[in-house]
Amino acid sequence: MTATLDRPRSSTTTDEPSPETETETKPQRTKRWWKLGLPWPRGRTRNGAPFEDDPLVIDNQTDAFWALHLGYRELGAVGPQSERREHVVRTGILTARIVGAPTGTGYLTAYLGPDVERIEILVEKEGSIPEYALRAIERDPSARRKR
């Protein structure tokens, strides 16, 4: 029987320590002087949110606690027969859900725009079944112009 053996390793560069080489770093780039010294507009992020700082009034006219969310932001809970004021950017979808409701229970939604000044949570009872509604009330356009 013949057997094929691997060739013995010869002394190569991997067996010997590599000679130390000096590496040159690239020079750091600098901004050009005409981009730094002149008052040209630079790229900035702008926020398209309305400038009005009036609070959003949330009026709960039901006998239940409601958990509120505006987009991904949690606004907390509103107690029964109470009113709450929140300083938020009025854009997006406001959702309201009864606190402690079982899984799968529906929730109320309302779209908010810059003109919405008040949100009302209402209940209408037909027989023994309550029907809840979320209503967005916009401010009077003539009152906005007077400011």
Specify if 127 maps to a domain: yes
Does any domain span residue 38?
Answer: no
Residue 98 resides in a domain: yes
Contacts of 69 (CB under 8 A, 6+ apart): 75, 94, 95
Residue with tokens 């900035």: 44
**Structural domain contains residue 9:** no
Residue 95 belongs to what domain range? Answer: 57-146
DSSP string, the chain: -----PPPPPP-TTTSPPPP---PPPPPP---HHHHHS-PPPP----------PPEEEEE-SSS-EEEEETTEEEEEE-TTEEEEE-----EEEEEEETTPPTT---EEEEE-TTEEEEEEEEEEETTEEEEEEEEEEPPHHHHHH-
The count of structural domains within the chain is 1
Answer whether residue 104 is part of any domain: yes
Domain for residue 65, yes or no?
A: yes
The residue behind tokens 């029987």 is: 1
Tens place of pLDDT for every residue, the chain, 147 residues?
Answer: 566 667 766 665 555 666 676 777 777 666 665 555 555 555 555 566 556 667 899 999 999 999 999 988 999 999 999 999 998 888 899 999 999 988 888 899 999 988 899 999 999 988 888 899 999 998 877 665 554
